[in-house]
Every structure is written in C-alpha cells, then in structure tokens.
C-alpha cells in the first residue's frame, strides 16, 4: 500500500523566501539560453514532420514499464529512453545537450528555488495533458514520486528519502523541501523524474510485468507490440507540447519502430538490407571494413562522423572486489600492468584507438597530466596519502610496451607488484604463499568482448596466471551482473561534463550490495564516499573541477578498472532518407532531432 504524503496548503510555504520563476536551471552558473529562446541550437526548427524510422537493438523485452526492477534490462526501448527520446513518458524539465547540465521547461513551465537549493518548486504548464486529454496535475507529480518510492526501481525509488515536505502550491505547482540528505544536484535530478498519470495506474499492480500500452503525456502512443521482437510507436496528433521551445524540431516521425535482434551481426545484416535505418558503430575495424555492400556504393547508405566535446569515459576490465582475490589493490594493479595495449591495438584494431588514462580524459575535469593544485590538496586533506604520488603530481602514465605481447620490462614490473600483493611464480604458475594458483574467470557478452578477453588471457599466461573466459547470452549476462556474480567483466563508465549522483551508483559504499546497482567493482571506501560528496556539494565551477579531478585520482589509484581505450568520434551509418541538423551539440548527435527527408 502506498504511504501517502498529504499535500500541504499554500499557507504552509508563506514563510519561505520568495523566489522568482525561472525558465531554466543550471547545475553551475546560469542557463545559456534566455527566457525568450525559441528552440535548442541543435535542431532544425523548420523541419517537415512525417515519415518513419526503424531502430535496431540487441536484446529482448517482456515489459512496457521501464521503472520497475523486473524490467530493468528487458523494457521496450523508447518508453523512457536516453537515445531515442522519452516517447511515451515525460519529465518535468528537459536537458539541453549543448550545455554541461542545464534543464529547461517541459511539463513544468517554470521552476523556483533558493540560493542554497533547500527546496524546488515546479510550476506546471497549464497546457500539459495526458494523451487521453486530462490535464497533468500536481497530484500526478506527487503520486509519481510516492508510487516510484514504493514500487519503483533504483534510482527512482530513493528520491523521496531526500524530501522533508512535499505539497501542492496553488492550482498548478508542487514544491519539494529537502532534508539534510539532499545535495545541490537534487533539484536537478527531480526535474528529470518521470511523471505518471494517477488516474490511469493501479498502484497494486504497478510492479508487475505488463505489455498493456500505458497512458503517457509524451509525443507518441504505442501502436503495436510483438513481445521480444518489436515495438511500434505512432505520433499523437494531439500532443500538447509540440510547440514549446524545448520540443521544437524534435519528435519528427509519424512512426517509430524498434526491432530486437539476438546478435549484433544479425542486426547489421538487417541494416544492410534496409530493414533498419540507422546503425551506430563503435568498432574501428568494423567501421573501416564492413561497409562494402551495394547500398553504400549507390549512396543509399551514408557514413557520418560526429565530433562531440565529451570526456573519454572509462572502458575496461572491471575487477569485482567482492571476490577475496580482488580485494587486494596490489593484485589489481599488477594485473592491470600485464595487459599489452599496444599489441592489442595494433593486432585487433589496426592502431585505431587511444589508451584511456583517466575517467574524464580530454576534458578539464581530468587529472591526467595535471598536478594537484592547492585547492585540490586542501579538498583532499589526509586522503591525498591514499593516492599514488605519480597520479597526484600528474606524472603517472600507463606503461607503453614494445607491442610484442611479451615486453619483458613491463612484465617484470607487473610480477614485482604482484609479489607485493603476496604472489610469486613457482613451477611456471603464479601462486600465493599457500601454493594456490592465481586464477579467475572473465565473463563476456559478445564476440568483440571475447577478443579483448583472449588478448588479456594471452598476456596473463606469460606470467603463469590462468584466466578462463565465459561468453554468455544477454539474459544470463544481465542476471549475473545484477547479482554481481562474476570475477571480471568488461564495462563502460560514461563520463559527462557534470558528474553527480550517478557516481553514487557506480562507486559509493551504499551501492555495493544493492542488487541492480551499477556498483560493478563493489567499492566500499569511505574516502571515495567523501570525494563524491565534494562533487555533489561544490558551488563554484573551480571547486567542482577540483572535486572531480581529486576523485579521478583516487579511482585511478584504486586500480578497480584496467583502462582500455576510447575514440573521440561518433560513427553512425544511416539511410540516405534520414536527415540531421548540421550543428553537433556538446554531447554529440541527437537522434530525436533527426527526420525523414522523403516527406514532401
């Protein structure tokens, strides 16, 4: 049963400091766009809407509810989607992809808060309506927070734990007053919360798997569902928000279909045949060699390269520190030294990749090559003693091998570090003091990951370490990662220019044993928790940059991830029928702003 928080009367808020309604809010500084802005810079405001698009994804789905634990990995794409857009459900505010972290009006026309961000008030757009024509109300907003608290999955389920008061203000507004668990990012996160229709949801059955098309306020309705195979959306001609500035030039198709495939090779074959209209490609080898089919030759398929201005992120082998073997920092460090990046990059990828040295490489938030300044050192305090001195002074760099796969100098250093961790080579095997071999399993989910695992396995064998490889199907992979049942996996940590609460799921002590969290390495370190807090409480841009850099240094010193590689471009192959804006925003290409050029 829902634990209801009763709406508070407007008079209860009269004692609060008055705040002026804002058209947008930024994590740091002010919104770049003025109150009278007409549209985002990276859209075509004059696009002719119509036509259709077909996306392709690897996986399956058995649920249309993206907010519950049972469907965390098997929800139909597009319902609430960072790539294709939130087609059915909407949030209070919408993020601009041309700014690090700025939100503008969507369901909420304006926002109010105070300098200390002790509260946030969302003033709903009076025009906002559900697809059945009923208005979106403050009661819907409060119902959504309560429902997701009681029936939703992380992170939606945790949001009301940050609130001391929640209540309706006037006819169209709802205010959240925060408790001491909240931070300066909390109002921003609340602005991105989904809003659900109170009149169309039974709370008792909300957490059950369902393929019944739900009611939303978004630009599309569900037209057809083939469980596990495809889902088709059709534009709602009565969509309430098509003319508000943050939605101009978006949602341009009459019909959107998402098709599901068991393997990426099958998906690509469908793209070659024209069954899929767009194919984002993350493999340099594939991008260079796989596009020799007729549609490319005739110009029916176009290869686009986009240049975002994003940090590198971190892709690599993740050590599960819940396993006793990987609780030892020296073991993790020694294993990281063994991987021969130069050999793998040359042999597998024709030298296409750059080695990743930082979670925020290619941005001012990165610690790579940058010595800690006085602001950072003061922020770190005694934690600086837990950081590798070379990482602290900006001189640290991952070893560069001779590319042979057996660089003796690097392997010698790795063996020495493993010795400090309690292991030595005896009889050709790396063993601990009791003679137990150093052995573990690398779990992979596709052929590309398997190739990397084999390269790592090859290097490990040179120093007597036995690594087995197990490639599992998508459902087993998701099940095992949800329950942290693995030794080593390959994962990508996406790094934005505005890191914040998502770091709690990745690295905080609280997330370590929470099923379904993104705590892949299982870190439980109070120093990491402290530095995350510094990021979340930073007020000035200077303090924020120092906080992220110091945090980057501590994560690197922990050797939780064996860093692999990154590319600084985005590659997308598309049907010639599709068009996209010329302007590439900070975060790269935006599929919801593309359109069907065949529409006359």
Task: Indicate whether 334 belongs to any domain.
Answer: yes
Q: Which residue has the tokens 């994003």?
A: 310
Is 580's pLDDT higher than 60?
A: yes
Q: Which residue has the tokens 């945790």?
A: 158
Task: Indicate whether 376 belongs to any domain.
Answer: yes
Q: What is the distance of C-alpha 182 from the center of its chain?
A: 21
How many structural domains are present in the chain? 1
φ, ψ of residue 486 to 5 degrees: the values are -165, 160
The parent domain of residue 424 ranges over 314-566
Query: Do you know the residue count of the chain?
Result: 600
Structure tokens at 36: 């009278």
How many whole angstroms separate alpha carbon 343 and alpha carbon 564? Answer: 12
Structure tokens at 491: 């994962």
Q: In the predicted model, what is the mean pLDDT of the chain? A: 94
E-strand stretches of 497-563: 561-563
Respond yes or no on whether the N-terminal peptide bond of residue 243 is cis (omega within 30° of 0): no
Q: Tell me the pLDDT tens digit for each residue of 377-436.
A: 999 999 999 999 999 999 999 999 999 999 999 999 999 999 999 999 999 999 999 999
Task: Indicate whether 296 belongs to any domain.
Answer: no
Task: Indicate whether 267 belongs to any domain.
Answer: no
Q: Please spell the DSSP secondary structure of 25-53, one letter per residue.
A: EESSS--SS-TT--S-TTS-TTPPP--EE
E-strand stretches of 27-172: 52-58, 90-91, 93-95, 102-105, 108-113, 119-124, 163-169
How many whole angstroms separate alpha carbon 61 and alpha carbon 77? Answer: 8
How many whole angstroms separate alpha carbon 220 and alpha carbon 236? Answer: 5
Structure tokens at 9: 């009367």
| Predicted pLDDT of residue 18 | 53
Please give the torsion angle defined by the CA atoms of residues 147, 148, 153 and 154, in that order, rounded to the nearest 10 degrees: -150
Q: What is the CATH number of the domain that holds 495?
A: 3.10.105.10
Task: Indicate whether 206 belongs to any domain.
Answer: no
Task: Indicate whether 507 belongs to any domain.
Answer: yes
Task: Indicate whether 205 belongs to any domain.
Answer: no
Largest CA-CA distance found in the chain, in angstroms, rounded:
79
Q: Tell me the pLDDT tens digit for each residue of 274-284.
A: 999 999 998 88
The alpha-carbon radius of gyration of the chain (Å, integer) is 25
Is 497's pLDDT higher than 50?
A: yes
Q: How many CA atoms lie within 13 A of 3 on its CB side?
A: 6
Task: Indicate whether 97 belongs to any domain.
Answer: no
Q: Tell me the pLDDT tens digit for each residue of 111-143.
A: 999 999 999 999 999 999 999 999 999 999 999
How many whole angstroms separate alpha carbon 203 and alpha carbon 485? Answer: 32
Q: Tell me the pLDDT tens digit for each residue of 508-549.
A: 999 999 988 899 999 999 999 999 999 999 988 899 999 999
How many whole angstroms separate alpha carbon 457 and alpha carbon 436? Answer: 19
Q: Tell me the pLDDT tens digit for each residue of 84-110.
A: 999 999 999 999 999 999 999 999 999
Residue 226's DSSP bridge partners are: 230
């Amino acid at each position: 049963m829902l634990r209801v928080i009763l709406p508070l009367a407007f008079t209860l808020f009269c004692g609060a400091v008055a705040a002026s309604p804002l058209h947008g809010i930024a994590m740091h500084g002010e919104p770049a766009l003025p109150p009278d802005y007409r549209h985002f810079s990276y859209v075509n405001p004059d696009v002719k809407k119509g036509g259709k698009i077909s996306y392709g994804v690897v996986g399956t789905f058995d649920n249309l509810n993206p907010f519950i634990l049972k469907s965390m990995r098997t929800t139909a794409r597009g319902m609430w989607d960072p790539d294709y857009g939130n087609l059915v459900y909407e949030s209070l505010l919408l993020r601009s992809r041309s700014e690090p972290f700025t939100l503008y009006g969507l369901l909420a026309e304006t926002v109010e808060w105070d300098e200390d961000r002790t509260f946030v008030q969302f003033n709903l757009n009076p025009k906002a309506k559900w697809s059945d024509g009923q208005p979106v109300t403050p009661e819907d907003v409060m119902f959504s927070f309560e429902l997701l608290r009681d029936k939703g999955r992380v992170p939606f389920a945790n949001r009301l734990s940050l609130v001391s008061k929640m209540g309706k203000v006037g006819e169209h507004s709802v205010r959240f007053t925060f408790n001491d668990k909240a931070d300066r990012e909390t109002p921003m996160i609340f602005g991105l919360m989904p809003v659900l229709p109170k009149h169309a949801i039974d709370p008792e059955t909300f957490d059950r798997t369902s393929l019944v098309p739900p009611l939303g306020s978004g630009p599309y309705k569900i037209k057809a569902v083939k469980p596990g195979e495809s889902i088709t959306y059709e534009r709602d001609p009565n969509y309430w928000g098509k003319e508000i500035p943050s939605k101009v030039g978006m949602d341009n198709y009459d019909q959107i279909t998402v098709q599901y495939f068991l393997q990426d090779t099958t998906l690509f074959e469908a793209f070659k045949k024209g069954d899929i209209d767009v194919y984002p490609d993350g493999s340099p080898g594939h991008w260079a060699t796989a596009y020799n089919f007729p549609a490319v030759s005739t110009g029916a398929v176009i290869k686009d390269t986009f240049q975002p201005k994003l940090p590198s992120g971190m892709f690599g082998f993740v050590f599960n520190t819940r396993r006793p073997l990987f609780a030892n920092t020296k073991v993790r460090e020694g294993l990281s030294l063994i991987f021969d990046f130069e050999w793998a990059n040359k042999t597998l990828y024709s030298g296409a990749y750059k080695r990743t040295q930082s979670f925020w490489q290619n941005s001012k938030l990165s610690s790579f090559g940058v010595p800690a300044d006085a602001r950072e050192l003061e922020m770190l305090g005694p934690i600086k003693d837990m950081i590798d001195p070379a990482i602290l002074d900006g001189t640290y760099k991952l070893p560069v091998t001779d590319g042979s796969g057996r660089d003796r100098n690097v392997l010698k250093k790795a063996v020495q570090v493993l010795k400090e961790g309690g292991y030595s080579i005896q009889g050709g095997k790396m063993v601990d003091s009791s003679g137990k071999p150093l052995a573990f399993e690398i779990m992979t989910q596709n052929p590309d990951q398997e190739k990397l695992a084999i390269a790592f396995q090859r290097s490990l064998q040179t120093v007597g370490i036995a690594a087995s490889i197990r490639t599992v199907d998508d459902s087993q992979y998701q099940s095992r990662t949800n329950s942290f049942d693995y030794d080593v996996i390959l994962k990508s940590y996406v790094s934005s220019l505005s890191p914040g609460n998502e770091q709690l799921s990745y690295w905080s002590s609280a997330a370590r044993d929470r099923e379904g969290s993104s705590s892949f390495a299982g870190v439980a370190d109070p120093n990491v928790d402290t530095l995350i807090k510094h990021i979340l409480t930073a007020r000035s841009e200077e303090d924020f940059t120092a906080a992220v850099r110091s945090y980057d240094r501590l994560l690197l010193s922990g050797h939780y991830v064996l860093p692999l590689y990154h590319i600084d471009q985005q590659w997308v192959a598309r049907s010639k029928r599709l068009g996209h804006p010329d302007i590439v925003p900070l975060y790269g290409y935006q599929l919801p702003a593309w359109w069907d050029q065949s529409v006359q």
